[in-house]
Amino acid sequence: MNIKRLSACALLALGLGTAMNAQAHRTWMLPSATVLSGENTWVTVDGAVSNSLFYFEHFPLQLGGLKITSPTGAEVEAQNQAKGKYRSTFDVELKEDGTYTLEMRRQGIFARYTQDGEPKRWFGRAEKMERRIPKDAQDLQISEVDNRMQVFVTKGAPSDETFKPTGDGLELVPVTHPNDLFTGEEVTFQFLADGQPAKGMEAVLIRGGIRYRDDVDEIKLTTDDEGHLKVTFEEPGMYWLNLKGEQPSTEIEGATKRLGYTATLEVLPL
Amino acid sequence: MQWKQVTAAALLSVAANQAMAAELKVQIEVPSIDIAEYHRPYVAVWIENAKGRHQQDLAVWYDLEMRDNEGTKWLKDLRLWWRRSGRQLEMPVDGISSATRPAGAHEMVFAADDPKLADLPAGEYRLVVEAARELGGRELLRLPFQWPAEAAQKQTQQGEHELGRVALELTP
């Protein structure tokens, strides 16, 4: 019982809460600003797993695996990292002009099975699966999990350098630049799943500040055949974007690959 | 005393001559706001075409005397100007940027053959004035005009919080 709870917590802390729990835990990073000017420019970023947006009330985000890429493609250090009870924080110095991408990637195998009549689950890296899942596991269900979470911040004019698709996982291709979002203007993003248009994926956009309104006011969308998502924001604010989709795994025969994409987008009033 | 009068007369006649030349005159009132911590507003003045496309910056008032160019940190608060022009620029820009102004009316005069205006094709335009103040708000006003001016044109708008009276006057 204790072990079960522990592993559930560990999974949640990994940012996989959304993928496996009926209760909708949301994983996010929240930058102090996305549009910046001047010299000696910094952003500070909070990271958490929570129910309500953007409040710290459940788990801090585990910062291992955080990757920050500068406009010219250089790796940038996440400074002053700290983990509190409910949130993690770090700072990024923006020395170059252009758009920085802050990314966390979670990839692995999720397995459910029963052993001696007990339901079990395991999450880990693909190469460890064979050793970790017991030979006598029954009702084995395996899925590949691939979640990407991104935040974009721009000093000066937005740039596209960090958006070159890698063909790996769910990726955002900016038709509208994600740091150039304004109310009343149509925004278009394209999504690729392993390099191909991510068609028919369910997306949700939620504006922060849920605590101060009665409805979550989710904007529900589905990507079209080209993987495009179109939306016109009526209210400015920080929005949490989440996409989910499934396709057959190319790694494990017969398994499903569960793809996820999360971003925090700032929409400014025009 | 005599000399002073002569000088004043000479200056007046120079001013009169200038008033005869084709020009674009912008008057911007920075409202006086009585609060404990007052910072002068950042102000951007530019020309956009009838479709809202940025054509030409005329002025940006910001804190350019801060150490290490730190005053540029708040330029993005001139939200629309930052998007349309500022984020592409390396500040300061000669002939465009200058220091913030105190409360009161400020006038800028651009001769029709000023490089900022000389290349403007004939058509409908809007003068845009955007102001943003530290610990305060932001306000934006638009004043339409026709270029080049074939007849005298005058437009006035009254700001509500960060801008006072803004006037545009064109002399053919």
Shortest CA distance from B140: residue in chain A: A270
Structure tokens, A238: 């920080």
Assess whether the previous peptide bond of A191 is cis (omega < 30° from 0): no
Shortest CA distance from A180: residue in chain B: B83
Q: Is the ipTM of this complex over 0.85?
A: no
Residue pair B30/B164 in contact (Cβ under 8 Å)? The answer is yes
Could you give the C-alpha distances from A171 to A71, A111, A137, A181, A230, in angstroms and in order?
17, 25, 34, 18, 16
DSSP 3-state assignment of A32?
coil
Whether A38 and B73 lie within 8 Å, measured CB to CB: yes
Q: Is A180 on the interface with B (CB under 8 A)?
A: yes
Q: Where are the domains of chain B?
A: 22-171
Assign B20 a pLDDT band (cuts: 50, 70, 90).
low
pLDDT in tens, A68-114: 999 999 999 999 999 999 999 999 999 999 999 999 999 999 999 99
Whether B68 and A40 lie within 8 Å, measured CB to CB: yes
Whether B80 and A41 lie within 8 Å, measured CB to CB: no
pLDDT in tens, A27-64: 999 999 999 999 899 999 999 999 999 999 999 999 99
3-class DSSP string for A180-224: CEECCCEEEEEEEECCEECCCCEEEEEECCHHHCCCCCCEEEECC
Which architecture characterizes domain A2-108+142-268 according to CATH? Sandwich (2.60)
Residues of B in contact with A157 (CB under 8 A): 87-88
User: What is the spatial distance between Cα A73 and Cα A68, in angstroms, rounded to a whole number?
Assistant: 9
User: What is the spatial distance between Cα B111 and Cα B72, in angstroms, rounded to a whole number?
Assistant: 29
User: What is the spatial distance between Cα A147 and Cα A244, in angstroms, rounded to a whole number?
Assistant: 9
How many residue pairs from chains A and B have C-beta atoms closer than 8 A?
A: 40
- Nearest beta carbon to residue B86 from set A37, A158, A269: A37
Helices then strands (H, E): number in chain A?
3, 20
For chain A, percent of residues with pLDDT exceeding 70? 91
Residues of B in contact with A270 (CB under 8 A): 80
Whether A37 and B80 lie within 8 Å, measured CB to CB: no
- Nearest beta carbon to residue A157 from set B70, B73, B88: B88
User: What is the spatial distance between Cα B70 and Cα A42, in angstroms, rounded to a whole number?
Assistant: 13
Structure tokens, A79: 């400074």
Whether A38 and B70 lie within 8 Å, measured CB to CB: yes
User: What is the spatial distance between Cα A14 and Cα A149, in angstroms, rounded to a whole number?
Assistant: 12
Structure tokens, A175: 């038709």
